Amino acid sequence: MNRSPSRTWWKTATGLLLTGIMLFPVYWMLNVSLTRDQDMRKSPPDLLPLNGTLAGYRTVLDEQLPYLATSLVIGMGTVVLTVALAAPAGYALAKLRPRGGGLLAFLFLVAQMIPGIIMAMGFYAIYLQLGLLRSVPGLIVADSTLAVPFAVLIFTAFMSGIPGELLQAAKTDGAGALRTFWSVVLPMSRNAVVTVSLFAFLWSWSDFVFAGTLVNGGAHEPITLGIYHYIGNNNQEWNAIMATAVVSSLPAAVILVLAQRYIAAGVTAGAVKD
């Protein structure tokens, strides 16, 4: 039975309307970032930056680049550490089936329910003793604790769908568990690796709780603290503040667009054809 054209039209229109409402704050952030200081308090405000300026972006490039560089280092470090820990753990739970594996998977679920501020306080006490406060490696380790439980569950679900015949064939050829994981399982789990890497990067990039607790006041602070300090020091320069928000959103947005097809496959695929 064919759907009514009017019904399809209304669904499309509703979807476009809801999308526009959700994306309007992003558009307004971009609009304000291009607005001149003298036009900032106009009533009604300009819906388009007819007399736009890039002064806010020049200010961002002068003052915020060190924060952006630090966030990139933290994000990439979190991705590497997360994949290095979670991929072998997912493989072990999915294929090696250790004793107590079900309980361990349940604990990973529970770990995601712990409030971040509680974990931050625990890390603060530990890092105070180890001398890791206000350090980039310390923040990478802390951010990884947000991503690893989720990543292990993703890897476990994905690797459970890899045919056992392939692993048996590798074993027959003389490959041990480590060689099988590195040469067979990990290449076949590319979509899961990309999915986990993206979420780990986004979590570390947007983290404020761990950053504000563990590295605030240090020599290397991420962009979330850069924006926080900038708002406090320049609460009248809204074009520069919004330009900072736009620039800080670009890396995550670009990575999300480039990796979206791998993410869809990593979430929906759990097996391969024989």
Give 90-119 as a DSSP string: HHIIIII--TTHHHHHHHHHHHTTS-HHHH
Q: Quick check: 59 and 243 in contact, CB under 8 A?
A: yes
- How far is the CA of 236 from the CAs of 30, 101, 134, 147, 239, in angstroms? 17, 55, 29, 36, 9
DSSP 245-273: HHHHHHHHHHHHHHHHHHHHHHHH-----
pLDDT at residue number 271: 42
Amino acid letter, residue 40: M
pLDDT at residue number 113: 85
User: Does 115 sit behind a cis peptide bond, omega within 30 degrees of 0 on the bond before it?
Assistant: no
How far apart CA 207 and CA 140 sit, in angstroms, is 11
Query: What is the chain's mean pLDDT, rounded?
Result: 84
Question: How many other C-beta atoms are found inside a 10 Å radius of the C-beta of residue 252?
Answer: 16
How far apart CA 201 and CA 258 sit, in angstroms, is 14
How far apart CA 101 and CA 94 sit, in angstroms, is 9
pLDDT digits (tens, 9 = 90+) for 158-197: 888 888 888 888 888 888 878 888 888 888 888 889 889 9
Q: Quick check: 262 and 191 in contact, CB under 8 A?
A: yes
pLDDT at residue number 233: 62
Q: What is the dihedral sign for C-alpha 163, 103, 116, 144?
A: negative
Q: Quick check: 229 and 66 in contact, CB under 8 A?
A: no
How far apart CA 45 and CA 242 sit, in angstroms, is 16
Q: Quick check: 208 and 146 in contact, CB under 8 A?
A: no
In which band, very low, low, confident or very high, does the pLDDT at 235 lie, cut at 50, 70 and 90?
A: low
pLDDT at residue 7 above 70?
Answer: no
Tokens representing residue 195 in the block: 């999915």
pLDDT at residue number 274: 41
Q: What is the mean pLDDT of residues 94-119?
A: 84
Tokens representing residue 212 in the block: 């504000």
HSE-CB for 96 with a 13 A CA cutoff: 17
pLDDT at residue number 270: 47
